[in-house]
Amino acid sequence: MHVTGTAPQPAPAPSEDLTVGVGDPHDTTSGPDAPGTTSKHARGFGLPVATALVMGNIIGGGIFTLPASIAPYGTVSLVAFGVLTVAAIALALVFGRLAARDPRTGGPYVYAREAFGDFAGFLTAWSYWITGWVSNAALAVAAVGYLDVLVPVGGHHWSACLAALTLLWLPAVANFAGTRYVGAVQLVSTVLKFVPLLLVAVGGLFFFDPSRLGPFNSSGHGPVGAVSASAALLLFSYLGVESAAVSAGEVRDARRNVGRASVIGTTGAALVYLLGTLSVFGTVPHDRLVHSTAPFSDAVNAMFGGGWGGTAVALAAVISMTGCLNGWTLLSAQTPYAAAQDGLFPATFARRRRGVPTFGVAVTVVLSSLLTAYNYLSGSAKVFEVLVLVTTFTATVPYLLATAAQLFHLISGGGASVNRARLVRDAVVTAVAAGFSLWLMAGAGYAAVYQGTLFLFAGVLVYAVMAARRRRRHG
């Protein structure tokens, strides 16, 4: 449905499939999974799995350290949480509107290309792809820290590196097995990780003691400055709201379910974040929380006593990050797949088997593995941290271009037949989403924006080569 109700819906490109495993000319599977048949391994996502994909990708490992990170600012950081939640839901609504208009795999890439042409589409795909494989490497390294609590693997660079590589490749194997297994892993891991998180988020309220909250504003800034400063740390907690839109081609009844999954998933993740942080604030004394390295573990120990909380939280963190890697591995391959179908990425990225872009998954996991190995074997932690910050910038480029595409459709729709109330509502939501995207970009910091821009311009050279090849072919 067009967002303004005036323009006709674009027909899907001939090469695009809107149902996983049905008539996909790029699917190289033979036998029962051949094109034109419905593969038992390539099953479309329903609303529950699509919602789990959104929530699982938003809630990674950061939640387990988040309360300690924002504790120095005081409880004013909870105000920042509220502001950011409204902005993130606005972005989710924009993705829902765009997916209803064009429910193809690729999400922001599809929206930017349709509105602004090949170059904008390529920049979206390129920046999102960089975000995916670098973030996966970061997530695997972070997961090793929690895994070390359960199994001692961090004592040597080689054992830690091997553990991180294992955590990268296990979700990749699930992806190679087909979207049916990706969805199953995502749903199970999301449910399992929410058990301990909800234990703290809900159970902690029964042990809540206001005297442990500490000051409202301990940042040294005014209220507005304190909200902005704490928001800079919280901004990145909402990356992943686009997850259902990126995999829209694999979502059943995508025009309806992508928007619902995006909003429900974002709202659910926000509630877990907010309740979890509030419970930790109210169970762990502020002066101790500021210096905590495992705030959820400290909260569980404060609630029930004993030292088993650290083990439980470590297990939850590993499950959470593995599920997050599972979802991001698929998303990292989906956007290049959509771009390859349009000739903007090498054609090999358009190969699919059992509903999954297998070449894209393979390249993503190999690049993530190389970066992970480099991090461990060279000891260059600072270089790695810089690259992670760069991905924060590159992740917001697709957000901004998607909201710009929505703005383009709202303004170009025009005409007497426009529902004015709906137009105003969509315009306000889009403006909030655009502001959120710019805020995310600014929050990455000057160095990350500078270096992220270099990454983008490196992509311009790749685009030049691909554009030249297309022109030569069509001659």
Q: How far is CA 234 from CA 50, 62, 73, 340, 461, in A?
A: 24, 10, 12, 34, 34
> What is the reported pLDDT for 48?
85
> What is the reported pLDDT for 404?
94
> What is the reported pLDDT for 103?
87
Q: How does residue 154 score in pLDDT terms, banded at 50, 70 and 90?
A: low
Task: Give tens-digit pLDDT for 155-180.
Answer: 677 888 898 899 899 888 877 776 66
C-beta neighbour count of 46 within 10 angstroms: 15
DSSP state of 117: -
Using CA of residue 89, residue 93, residue 95, residue 99, what is the dihedral sign? positive
> What is the reported pLDDT for 42?
47
The answer to whether the CB of 441 falls within 8 A of the CB of 393 is: yes
> What is the reported pLDDT for 23?
33
Per the listing, tokens 């040597």 go with 156
The DSSP string of 48-98 is: HHHHHHHHHHHSSSGGGTHHHHHGGG-THHHHHHHHHHHHHHHHHHHHHHH
Average confidence (pLDDT) over 213-224: 80
pLDDT at 181 over 70: no
> What is the reported pLDDT for 355?
72
Backbone angles phi, psi at 41, to 5 degrees: -90, -20
56-65, 66-75, 307-316, 412-421 — which is least confidently predicted? 412-421
Q: How does residue 15 score in pLDDT terms, banded at 50, 70 and 90?
A: very low
**Which tokens go with 418?**
């426009």
Residue 324, CB-side half-sphere exposure with 13 Å CA sphere:
31
C-beta neighbour count of 460 within 10 angstroms: 12
Residue of higher predicted confidence among 190 and 288: 288
Alpha helices in 102-207 (DSSP H): 108-116, 118-150, 157-177, 179-203
Question: d(Cα 182, Cα 168) in Å, to the nearest integer?
Answer: 14
> What is the reported pLDDT for 21?
31
Average confidence (pLDDT) over 140-153: 80
Within its chain, how far is the Cα of 9 from the centroid? 27
pLDDT at 26 over 80: no
Average confidence (pLDDT) over 89-106: 89
pTM, entire model: 0.75
Q: How does residue 414 score in pLDDT terms, banded at 50, 70 and 90?
A: low
> What is the reported pLDDT for 19?
30
pLDDT at 3 over 80: no
The overall average pLDDT reported for the chain is: 79
Task: Give tens-digit pLDDT for 43-78.
Answer: 567 888 888 888 877 876 667 778 888 888 888 888
Within its chain, how far is the Cα of 424 from the centroid? 28
- Report which of 403, 389, 394 is spatially closest to residue 435, judged by C-alpha positions: 403
Task: Give tens-digit pLDDT for 318-361.
Answer: 887 887 788 788 878 888 888 888 888 888 898 887 777 889 88
C-beta neighbour count of 412 within 10 angstroms: 12
Per the listing, tokens 């926000």 go with 270
